[in-house]
Amino acid sequence: MNNGCLCGFLFGKIQQWNGAVYYDLEEMCVKHSTQRQGVGKSLMGKLEEMLLEEGVSRVYLITQRDSVPSNFYTALGFSVNQSLVIMGKGIE
């Protein structure tokens, strides 16, 4: 909250796979008029604090390559995971 106004949110879920506990960040949004003011960074910081308390060891997310969001996440210490691939299939 910023002056009583909701200016951003994030959500996802804690998952377990291959002996590890991780968080799958599904969505993060910050109101356009409050972007570049530390709101997203603050949200991610609070999320990481909460996840550490839950024993979560990693955060994963999907974002578009070479975009404003990917630059934001890179600045927060995220990197491209070379062992994962996103796959899709069109269906008719």
Please count the other Cβ atoms lying within 10 Å of the Cβ belonging to residue 31: 14
Task: Catalogue the E-assigned strands of the chain.
Answer: 8-17, 20-30, 58-61
pLDDT in tens, 18-61: 888 999 999 999 999 999 999 999 999 999 999 999 999 899 99
Long-range contacts of 58-63, Cβ-Cβ distance < 8 Å, separation of 24 or more: 58/20, 58/22, 58/23, 59/22, 59/23, 59/25, 60/22, 60/23, 60/24, 60/25, 60/84, 61/12, 61/24, 61/25, 61/26, 61/28, 62/86
- What per-residue confidence (pLDDT) applies to 55? 93
Tell me: pLDDT of 2 over 70: no
pTM here is 0.84
All structural domains of the chain: 8-75 (3.40.630.30)
